[in-house]
Amino acid sequence: MLDQLVSERFADQSPRQVYSKLLDEGDYLCSVRTMYRILAENQSSRERRNQLKHPNYQKPELLASGPNEVWSWDITKLKGPETWTYYYLYVILDIYSRCVVGWMLAHREAADLATQLIETTIEKQGVQSDQLILHSDREPSMTSHSVAELLTSLGVTKSHSCPHVSNDNPFSESQFKTMKYRPEFPKRFGCYEDALGFCRDFFSWYNDEHYHSGIGLLTPSSLHYGQAEEILAQRQETLREAWQKNPERFVGGVPTPASLPKAVWINAPKRERERKIGAPEANCPGAP
């Protein structure tokens, strides 16, 4: 128990916080009173925050200029039929194409399931060693030894959000928001099979039918799997023909379709943020 209390994860939290967090994870080690006693016996109650050397965490600055360069992954809970029943949805997202490249619905959150999904997805996508960065927050499954060992063996660089920073994983958070704001998303799922069926339908729609504003109004699948240039060329031809038929409608000349992002960042450096002020990522047509 003492090892838990002085660990990097819990060194700056009170015994009540540690107790509650472990209990929510289905792990009861001892009572709050016992935690205080253990700390007192080891003269750690006041000094425990100093026992751990906290690393000087830096915000990760991750750049993707094409598919399968940076993935973001996260886990969200879907409510089951009864109070305190949940299904756990694991999702891996390519931040450049916004394509969901892997997902899994499970009855529990666990590092072994995360490892299985990551390994399968990397294999299916044909990712090579030293090609990919995998970004996540700092939940136990994400920071587990089994996940770290797998990534090392596959030549994948792991990246984590800074502690206590809520928006360091924006692409995964945005995708979950899109899912949960769908009109067909229920308050609760009647059973595991209902939740699984919803997820299958949602990810099929999201990848193959959803025109995403962050990627030039393409679908994530079309950008991820190399169809973007053909689609944009066809759009340009359609707009050119519209201009030829009614040039007076287009005061700015021949319109152009929304363009692809040249670079996608998680935590863009200051110089990059300043450069983009006032410069839209997409040049959308101005026709009425």
Q: Are residues 8 and 133 in the same domain?
A: no
The count of structural domains within the chain is 2
The DSSP symbol for 212 reads B
Q: Are residues 109 and 169 in the same domain?
A: yes
Give percent of the chain with pLDDT exceeding 90: 63
Q: Are residues 73 and 45 in the same domain?
A: no
What does pTM read for this prediction?
Answer: 0.75
Q: Are residues 94 and 166 in the same domain?
A: yes
**50 vs 208, which has greater pLDDT?**
208
pLDDT at 257: 92
Q: Are residues 13 and 45 in the same domain?
A: yes
Q: Which letter, b or e, does each residue of 44-64 get, where b requires 16 or more Cβ atoms within 10 Å of its Cβ?
A: bbeebeeeeeeeeeeebebbb
Q: Are residues 42 and 78 in the same domain?
A: no
Q: Are residues 43 and 89 in the same domain?
A: no
Encode pLDDT of 162-183 as tens digits: 765 555 689 999 999 999 999 9
Cα distances from 148 to residues 10, 111, 156, 171, in angstroms, run: 20, 10, 9, 21
pLDDT at 164: 55
Q: Are residues 32 and 71 in the same domain?
A: no
The CATH number for 156's domain is: 3.30.420.10
pLDDT band at 51 (very low <50, low <70, confident <90, very high): very low
Task: State which residues form the domain around 108.
Answer: 56-288
Q: Are residues 28 and 133 in the same domain?
A: no
Last residue of a domain, which of 51, 68, 84?
51
Specify the residue for token string 């023909």. 241
Is residue 214 pLDDT above 60, yes or no? yes
